[in-house]
Amino acid sequence: MSEIGLRERKRLRMYRTVSDIAIRLFLERGFDAVSVAEVAAAAEISKPTLFRYFPAKEDLVLYRIADHEGEAARVAGEGTAPVEALRRHFLAGLERCDPVTGLNDDPEVLAFHTLLYGTPSLVARLYGHLERAEEELAGALGGGLGARLAAGQIIAVRRILAQENWRRIAAGERVEEVRGDAVAAAERAFGVLAECLPQLL
């Protein structure tokens, strides 16, 4: 059992290391200017080994947010009022400046968001991530068309709130200047969801 744990830790460390190296290169030179072969060389692994970990070049970047894919489903499944649980979770993220909420002015986080949203192939791949998040959330909400419609609305609200926060931070506003509006917008959006979505479920 401990051997399996060690193997898993090594595997996860490899993912993190290669992803970090790739993102550093992409930030320095641009996503399209860096080849997969260059990433593999910088990580001191072969190209086939890299593709075993990351089937597509875009996955090197999206690995950093992959652990958020099932987050909404997990949070929604923790209680009897999923929208309220998701509201509290998003507000807690704003409080701690979680990068996934967009309310974070760390230069590295801003650079990563600029890379992610400024590269068309990454944006396209990101929508696959969002679709999988919707599917998992719909399952947590009970499945069926109503659950899928509700999940789509919830994921869209979280995405739009985060993008608005990131847009303002990227334009030069400080976290403390944005925080009040971010909290108010989240409260308003999740309030609307709480009123409307129970009719779908």
pLDDT in tens, 12-36: 899 999 999 999 999 999 999 999 9
State residue 181's pLDDT score: 98
The larger pLDDT score, comparing residue 2 to residue 20, is at 20
Q: Which domains does the chain have, with CATH numbers?
A: 6-59 (1.10.10.60), 68-197 (no CATH)
- Coil, helix or strand at residue 54: coil
Query: What does the alpha-carbon distance between residue 182 and residue 18 come to, in Å, rounded to a whole number?
Result: 34
Q: What is the pLDDT of residues 131-184, one digit of tens each?
A: 999 999 999 999 999 999 999 999 999 999 999 999 999 999 999 999 999 999
How does residue 4 score in pLDDT terms, banded at 50, 70 and 90?
low
The residue among 154, 2, 129, 125 whose CA lies nearest residue 67 is 129
Report yes or no on whether pTM surpasses 0.85.
yes
What is the rounded average pLDDT of the residues 112-139? 94
What's the confidence (pLDDT) of residue 2? 47
Alpha-carbon radius of gyration of the chain: 19
**Is pLDDT above 70 for 3?**
no
Confidence at residue 1, expressed as pLDDT on a 0 to 100 scale: 42
CA 123 → CA 15, 59, 63, 100, 132, distances in Å? 21, 12, 14, 15, 15
Looking at residue 80, its pLDDT comes to 76
Tokens of 160: 């739009």
Judge residue 47's burial from the number of C-beta atoms within 10 Å of its C-beta, 0-12 exposed, 13-18 middle, 19 or more buried. middle
pLDDT in tens, 53-93: 999 999 999 999 988 889 999 999 887 799 999 999 999 99
pLDDT of residue 98 exceeding 90: yes
